[in-house]
Structure 1
Amino acid sequence: MSLLWEMFTYPFILRAFVVGILVALCAALLGVPLVLKRYSMIGDGLSHVSFGALSIALACGWAPLPVSIPVVILAALGLLRMTEKSRMGADAAIAVVSASALAIGVVVTSLTTGMTTDVDSFMFGSILAMDRADVALSVVLCAAVLVLYILFYHRLFAITFDESFSRATGVRVGLYNTILSVLTALTIVLGMRMMGAMLISSLVIFPALTAMGLLRSFRGVVLCAAGLSVVCFCIGLTGSYLWGTPVGATVVLVNLAAFLLSRGVMRIKRAA
C-alpha cells in the first residue's frame, strides 16, 4: 500500500492518470461507432501517420505536436473521402496509408536522428512525455466528445447503423462522419504519447468489442465500453508502476484480459 500511495506523490504520474483516463474515455466512446461501422482500424492507420509526421518534425527540429495534429486530421479526412468516393474499401485504404506513413517515418528516422529516446517514446509510449499542455488538450478533447454524445446521440445512433436511411431523413451524415474522424485523429495523437504508435489503436478497439460481447443495446455498449476503458487504463498504469513494465503494453494486456473474461462469461451463459 505504501508503494501505491508513493506513486501519487509524483506529478508525472498524476498527469499520466488525468490524460490517460480522459483519452481512454474518448477512445472508447469514439470506438463504439467506429467498430460497428467496420472502421475500427483507423486508429492503427492514424497512429502510423502520426509517427511519420513526428519523425519528420524531430528531424527538422520542430515541435512534434503542432506538426502531427494537422497532418493526422488531414489523413483522417482523406481516409474518409477515400472510403466514400472510391471503390477502395476502408480496410484497404487504411492499410495503404498506414504502411506508407510508417515507412516514411522509419526511413526519415534512420537517415537523420536515428532511434533516439524521443522517437522510441513515440513508438512505444512514455508517461514521462506528458506535460501540462497534454492535460489541457485532453480536457478540451473529452469535453468535445461528451458534448457530441449528449447533444447528438440519436443522430450518432442513426449514422452508425444505417447511413442511407439517415441521409434520407435529412441527417448530415458527412458532417458527423467528419467530426468523428477529426476527434479520433486528436485522440490518437494525444494518446500515442503515452501508449505509443504501435499500441494506441487498442484503446479504440478492445473496450468496444468487450462491451459488445456483454450487452446488446447501443446505449449499454457505449456506457460499458467507457467504464471498462477507464478501469482497464487505471489498472494498467498502476500495474506498470508496480511491476516496472511499459505502460502501453500493460494497458493492452489488461484490456485483453477483460476481453477474454467477457468471452468466457458469455460462453458460460450460453451453456447454462
Structure 2
Amino acid sequence: MNDNLDWTIQQYEETLKNYPNLNKMMEEPFLLRMILTVLPSLMKQHPVGTRISKAQVYEAFNEQWIDVHVKNISTKLSELRIQTNPKKIRLAFQQYCQDLGFEMFMQGNQVATEISDHKEYENGQMMKKLDSILEMKVNEVSTPVAKTQDVWERFFNGDSIAKYILRRVGDNKYQFLHRSCQEYYAAQKIISDIISLTFNIFDDADIDNQQFQQHVPKLFINYKLLNEELGIIQFIAERIYDTNPKFINLKPRLFQIIESSKNSEN
C-alpha cells in the first residue's frame, strides 16, 4: 500500500518529529501500522507541525486501501479488454464501506454473513421433511436469524466485487480490517448525512424551522443512540475541528440538531 518503500528508518523518525501528536496514537498497534503506512502521504497533505487527527489518519489509510483494490481490479479487467472507470469504482467502494459500516453499527455486529445459495437449498429441502408441528417450532426459532441474515443480503448481491475489500474471517463471513475501520465508516456516513442538509439553519422563518424539525428524526445520527459508541463519537468530534472546507458546516448543523431535539415533542 505504501509507494515509498524506499524510506529509511531515519526518514520515518525525522518525519514523525514534525508531527508529535502522532506519537501518542502509535501506542496502539493497529494505529502504528496505519501511521507508518500513510506517513509519506500525510506529509504531503499536512504542513510541518500540523496536528493530524485520528480521523485524518484513517481517511488516508482507507483511501490507500481502496485505491490498491481499485488498481488491481482495473488491471485485471483491462487484461480482459473491459473498459473501467477507476473513479467510479472508487466512489462505489467508499459508499459500500460507509453503508456496511453503518449497518454493522445498527446491528451491533462486526461480522457480515454472505448467504450461500447452496446452503439455502439444503436447508429448504430439510425443512420440507419435517412434520408440521416441528416445522412451526423451527420457524419460531429461526425467524430472527433469517431476518438478521437478510440484512446483509444487499451487500453481497450477485457477483459483487465490493466484498473483496473486506477481510474474510470464516465461512462466508466478512469484516473490516479492524473494528475501528468500521467505526470510521459509520461515522463518515453520519457526517455526510449531516453536512448534506440543504436547510438554511440560520433562517428563522417558521416554514424552514418546521421542515428542519420534521427532517431531524430521519437523520442517521438519530437512528440509534451513540452513548456506547466512543469510537464513532471520536471520529465525529474530530471532524468538527477539521480544517477541510467540506466540514465547515458540521459544527453549526450539529448544534441545530441538538436544539431541535430539545424542542421535539417526542
TM-score by length of 1: 0.28
Give the structure with the larger helix fraction: 1
Q: Which has the larger radius of gyration?
A: 2
TM-score by length of 2: 0.28
